[in-house]
Amino acid sequence: MVTSDTVAPGEEGLYLRLLRDAADAVAGAGTLDEALAVTVDLVAERLGFDVCSVYLSDERAGDLVLAATHGLRREAIGQVRMRPGEGLTGHVAEGEQALFTSRADEHPRFKFFPETGEERFRSFGGVPLVRRGRCVGVLTVQTVREYRFPANEVVALQTLAGQVVSLIDVKRRLAPAGAGRAAPGTPARGLLVGLGTSPGVGLGRVAALGVDPLRAPPPPRAFAGADEEVARFARARDAAARELEAFAAQIEGEHGAAAAAIIRVHEELLRDPALEERVRARVVERQEPAEHAVYQAVEEVVELLSGAGAAKVREKADDFRDARAQLLRALGIAGGPTALDAGDGGVVLLAEVLTPAQTAHLDPARVVAIVTQHGSETSHASILARSLGIPAVVAIPDLVASVAQGERLLVDGDNGFVFQDPAPQIEAEYCRRGEAARAAAGVVAAELAARAPAGPRVAGVELLANVGLPHELGAAREHGAAGIGLLRTEFFFLQQHAWPTVKEQVAFYRRALQAAPQGPVVVRLLDAGGDKTLPYAPAHDEPNPILGLRSVRFLLSQPEVARAQVEALVEAAAVEQADVRVLVPLVTAGWELRAVRELLEEASAARGVPPRPLGMMVEAPSVLYQLEHLLPLADFVSLGTNDLTQYLLAVDRDNELVRQYYSPYHPAVLRALDWLQARLAADGRRPSVCGEMAGDPLGALALLALGYRTLSVRPRAVQPVRCLVHCVDEAALPALRAEVLAAPTPADVERVLRRALRQAAPFLLDA
């Protein structure tokens, strides 16, 4: 609804701004009551509703209670109660289903609550607030006149409800309801909200990272002549490269090859001929000293990258800055990431931006968490933080101005929350949360142990593991996976500083096969390009890399690279006598499978062994319409639900502007999966599902209902999904399939699945 004081709903970004502003406002509120009041005010004022209210569940009484309102009588807060199913709000809570009507009084479930003063409001909209599979409240809106809610407002309110319930949940921990508001004029403090990129919880005092001298232009210096300055640059480059290689070797020994690979990327950048040419040109043509030429040459590259549209490309700017810092240090400029070694144990490192080299220098025994003003989940700093096991929250607006040196912070890297000067009850709550998580895992293990003797209730289910990092292979074995359904090889390639040789690849694959659990090992060929760029691969300026030269297209554009990987896989499988199967990513045409098959047959014949089985990944919707031509070319089929969902819905799941449209529970996705399963079964195929959907209890339940019986999941999800298989009644799955396929929206699908999971295995909602 729009008034003269609101922005038209069609204006781009209105709802996204509402979501961000609601998060910021709730984060700044002092108590739960204040947070709820801020939320309803924002929704009503921004979208022009006469009423916005929040009702929360009273778990002890089993009632819904009016907790906050904009537009109803404020004295009704805390007084109006209703049972689930009572009135329209109770109806939304009972069915866990949104309801929007322009004539509320004509709805059969309508009930008038006179104490609220709502007799003059005609339209009604209600969205359930669902947390961990349970309805914990309802967000409602009302208008005086009859109002037909446009579809974009319905979607916005449903999206907002998910964010509101998460913030309400954490606000309950931050300050108990009714604890009182802050004194007038007191700045709101307590909670900062960002993006959690490395899991875990860290508590410590802030050590703020100041401006690195190596980020600023070097001090003036006399020009010593072109030949001497170029020679100084060459000596510094060689010295910096040796230092980086030594540091990478140290990091690899302490934290593994994944962390060391990012440092080796910087070494490769130092030897970039284009960078050398830029430096030489500035020295010769502008007569700049070497350090000034280095600084400005890299600054030009950084400005180009920082202005690029893709976050992945912009983040490469930090790699160049780190490489420059190494060069400047070798040229005699003091400063750099070694300054991070100072400080006492138990510190939370705060920075505007943290580069990969700075992150790699951190000691996990002393730095308990990282918080930054900028960053993303896929940045190298975030990847390194996960490798080091340091909790991290990034992308916190105005962080540097909001937090003081020495201040105590509790960092929740799972949810992206940062508590300032946390009260004892907050610390205690997080201790309880850790205990609750361990208890939930214990419940799953106990339930599985109790049900195991009777055997699974869904027959013929095979659980495999998805792995990418070496330590995940041991975890897959530990959690009882029946094999590896997806071994991602791109991370190995990302760890290299040049195209790996056949010998290097054979050594890696043999180590992986030795560490893997007994059973088949499905190895996906290099899935590079798109959002996974290799620093040593040919660069391509692509406006839309997700639809560009990626996956098998990229691999086959580098024939020698493809041949080397296939030869290495054949060699490793033969030596280890392992059941290795080769998987081709993002197949869109038959010639791609034939091209890989030719490489397999050629490599196998050279070694005198039978060719390995060849499979195709179903990720592109085009595969659905040419199965009769593609299936004869593949020995097995794997479904990648992440990309299939992305392409079916035309949603880049890493784009925050449209991320809310991405859902594997979209009816189009489920109907495509249902049709595909039936078609493959008719052909005698048993496909494996290896997307993230399979590792979530709701997603796994949907896949079981659709007839899938081979699921490949992250190692830690093997036990919960196995427990699900022991709890769900196979006889109930056909009816569940019919319900799921009939559901008109993703929210309806999830509601159906939550209800079924609560009946079969409610404890898995907390797993």
Active-site residue list = 380, 690
286 phi/psi in degrees, rounded to 5: -110, -5
Q: Which two tokens stand for residue 666?
A: 């979209």
CB of 422 closer than 8 Å to CB of 410: yes
Q: Which residues pair with 411 in a beta bridge?
A: 202, 418
- Spatial CB neighbours of 681, under 8 Å, sequence gap ≥ 6: 707
| CA distances for 311 relative to 128, 377, 413, 654, 665, angstroms | 34, 10, 21, 9, 27
- Residue 697 neighbours by CB distance under 10 Å: 25
CB of 545 closer than 8 Å to CB of 518: no
Which one-letter amino acid corresponds to residue 243? E
CB of 207 closer than 8 Å to CB of 345: no
Residue 518 three-state SS: coil
Q: Counting Cβ atoms within 10 Å, is residue 354 exposed (0-12), middle (13-18) or buried (19+)?
A: buried
H/E segment holding residue 487 = strand 484-488
CB of 767 closer than 8 Å to CB of 727: no
What angle is formed at CA 91 by the lines to CA 90 and CA 96, rounded to 5 degrees? 100
- Distance, CA of 250 to CA of 255 (rounded, Å): 9
Which one-letter amino acid corresponds to residue 655? N
Which one-letter amino acid corresponds to residue 406? G
Please report, for the chain, how many H helices and E strands are present, in that order.
26, 22
Q: Which residues pair with 309 in a beta bridge?
A: none
H/E segment holding residue 327 = helix 311-330
- Distance, CA of 141 to CA of 139 (rounded, Å): 7
Residue 8 three-state SS: coil
Residue 147 three-state SS: coil
| CA distances for 341 relative to 38, 191, 411, angstroms | 42, 28, 20
> In the chain, what is the straight-line distance between the N-terminal and C-terminal CA atoms, in Å?
40
Look-up of token digits 């931050």: 174
Q: Which two tokens stand for residue 751?
A: 């509601």
Q: Which two tokens stand for residue 718?
A: 């093997």
- Distance, CA of 278 to CA of 294 (rounded, Å): 8
Helix locations, 452-522, DSSP H = 470-478, 490-494, 502-515
Burial call 244-274: b when 16+ CB within 10 Å, e when fewer: beebbeebbeebbbbbbbbbbbbbbbbeeee
- Distance, CA of 165 to CA of 396 (rounded, Å): 20
- Distance, CA of 7 to CA of 546 (rounded, Å): 33
